[in-house]
């Protein structure tokens, strides 16, 4: 897998919004672990 370009990085870390802004339930731990495992 290649590195992300500047546009993609900006979208992820600057433009992105948290899930808390549009969902009123907690994120399942299994999903948090899956995202963590990607790093």
Tokens 């500047």 sit at which residue? 6
Task: Please tell me whether residue 12 adopts helix, strand or coil conformation.
Answer: helix
The answer to whether the CB of 4 falls within 8 A of the CB of 12 is yes
- Tell me what pLDDT residue 4 has: 92
Express each pLDDT in 1-39 by its tens digit.
789 999 999 998 899 887 777 888 888 999 999 989 987
- Tell me what pLDDT residue 9 has: 92
Residue 25 DSSP one-character state: S
Does the pTM of the predicted model rise above 0.75?
no
The answer to whether the CB of 27 falls within 8 A of the CB of 19 is yes
Please give the C-alpha separations between residue 31 and each of 12, 28, 34, 36, in angstroms, as whole numbers.
18, 5, 5, 9
């Amino acid at each position: 897998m290649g590195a992300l370009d500047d546009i993609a990085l900006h979208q992820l870390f600057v433009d992105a919004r948290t899930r808390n802004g549009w969902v009123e339930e907690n994120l399942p731990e299994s999903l948090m672990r899956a995202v963590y495992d990607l790093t």
